[in-house]
Amino acid sequence: MTDANGELWDIYDASGKKQGRTIQRGHTLQPGEYHLVVQVWPRDSAGRFLIQKRPQHLKYLPGRWAATGGSVLAGETSRQGAVRELAEELGWTVQPEDLTCILEERSGNALSSAWLLECDLPVAEVVLQTEEVEEVRWASSAEIRGMVEDGRFYDYGKAYFDAVLGKAD
């Protein structure tokens, strides 16, 4: 959900229970308050993941590679947010049941979930949201781990990558 001032997020407690309040993106959550964040990992039949590069003009992680994803809007579930992010950033329409949750974790003030999408869609069918995505490509688990090591890929943490990328090893 958005209002005239931008995105609204539902506020959750540490156990994932909705608190009945919202906060506008950019405002500070209080200690013990969380919002939902999703990452979507499309994986092809060769076991490669579709990754995306963020444009240089962005304030957060400019020029870095990462998974498709973002914050879940007020009124959405994590799965619905993942479907929306795929549509917004890559132009792909998928059904909610096409996604499998492979990881849920608390990180900072976010309740984060990683979703796997098994698909063999060609990169040529991607319609980039150029404000947020500069480029996409398929990459193996080993390539992604190497990109993390040399600072080109956002580091979600070792346990995260072991859970997500280990699904393709």
What is the sign of the dihedral through the CA atoms of 8, 61, 141 and 91?
A: positive
Architecture in CATH of 2-165: Alpha-Beta Complex (3.90)
Say how far apart CA 158 and CA 156 lie, in whole Å: 7
H-state helical runs in the chain? 78-90, 141-149, 158-165
Nearest to 65 by CA among 3, 1, 134, 154: 154
Evaluate if residue 4 carries a pLDDT over 60: no
Query: What's the confidence (pLDDT) of residue 6?
Result: 78
Query: What's the confidence (pLDDT) of residue 60?
Result: 85
- Domain ranges, ordered by start, for the chain: 2-165
Which tokens go with 101? 């949750």
14-49: per-residue pLDDT in tens?
A: 999 999 999 999 999 999 999 999 999 999 999 999
Query: What's the confidence (pLDDT) of residue 125?
Result: 85
44-75: per-residue pLDDT in tens?
A: 999 999 999 999 998 888 999 999 999 999 99
Contact at 8 Å (CB) between 136 and 123? Answer: yes
- Tell how strand 110-118 and strand 35-43 pair up: parallel
Which tokens go with 24? 């506008």
- This model's pTM is above 0.85: yes
The secondary element (H helix, E strand) that includes residue 23 is: strand 18-24
Which tokens go with 25? 């993106």
Strand partners, 8: 24
- Return the CA Rg of the chain: 16
Nearest to 135 by CA among 63, 87, 77: 63
127-167: per-residue pLDDT in tens?
A: 998 889 999 999 999 999 999 999 999 999 999 999 999 85
Residue 46: phi and psi, rounded to 5, are: -85, 0
Contact at 8 Å (CB) between 31 and 105? Answer: no
